[in-house]
Amino acid sequence: MAETLKELARAQEIYNYRSRQAREIKQAGRKVLGYFCCYPPLEIMSALDSSPVRILGDIVPSLLFLSIPLAREEYRMIDNICKRKEEL
């Protein structure tokens, strides 16, 4: 049980600090390639000698974020793009 909690804490740390991780990768001289949804070809991105980093990945958007009309529409647009790609 303790090992599982330790692993979950590590996963949460990676999720919460992914922007910091992207900066560290860039400072190390590697290219960072951001993507929006969960369908990009990560293997191809990696083959291009870049590090893929998800830039919009919150499972549940915050209420503050959704209270801003432009941000809300952007979130819906990205969600619709991902759904359309899934249908193809």
pLDDT score of 83: 61
Dist. CA 39–CA 36, nearest whole Å: 9
pLDDT score of 29: 92
pLDDT score of 34: 84
56 with 18: CB under 8 angstroms? no
Tokens representing 21?
A: 């991780």
pLDDT score of 86: 53
pLDDT score of 82: 64
Structural domain boundaries of the chain?
1-57, 61-88
pLDDT score of 87: 55
Reported residue count of the chain is 88
pLDDT score of 41: 87
Global pTM reads 0.49
pLDDT score of 84: 58
pLDDT score of 54: 79
Contacts of 65 (CB under 8 A, 6+ apart): 71, 72, 75
Mark the ranges of the chain whose per-residue pLDDT is less than 50: none
50 with 33: CB under 8 angstroms? yes
Pick from 52, 42, 49, 41: nearest CA to 18:
52
